[in-house]
Structure 1
Amino acid sequence: MFIVSITYHTNLSQVEEALQAHLNFLDDNYQAGHFLASGPKVPRTGGIILVNMQSRDELHILLENDPFYREGIAVYEITEFTVTKSAECLKDIVSS
């Protein structure tokens, strides 16, 4: 499991220009079962994505397709962790 911390590297007007494409990227990865949760940071300096993938290398490749990454709008910090406890509603997801 991974936490992806996104930090904007540009002004919010450029973020807004690429936002719909970024949201489409998120939707595609929710449908693929890779993303579990996401949202903007408070204050709005970037965002967080909770990712269910087995490989850091595969995650890197996937994130290179994010318009925020491709356009140089944001930088990404990836934290990997091992799930040892979770809410009952997540048991099937995090054990796979």
Structure 2
Amino acid sequence: MNWLYLLIAGIIEIIWTLGIRYSDGFTRLWPTIGVMLTTPVSLYLLALAMRFIPLGTCYAVWTGIGSVGTAILGVVLFNEPSNLAHILCISLIIIGIIGLKLFTH
């Protein structure tokens, strides 16, 4: 269950990060409210996961999920540039997340 909390926290991190982009520097009301509502939920779930998963592992996986998801959605939603090196680096983050899951007891 703790890994599920961590996964959901990471997904919600992607949502609030996108909300920051859509808020246009916190000048648009609804995206700003979305960020204000989703950020504490993500942090709460992260805190729940940290009760049983080591701090370093939790934080690395949480930020990794957020980084990978945000980078992919940046390319898909905002036409941000992507190339082979970009894809390789994102792949390394994914490998790191999987490794942390497999080797954390």
Q: For CA contacts below 8 A with separation 6 or more, give which structure has more relative contact order.
A: 1
Which of the pair is proportionally richer in helix?
2
TM-score normalised by L of structure 2: 0.28
Which of the pair is proportionally richer in strand?
1
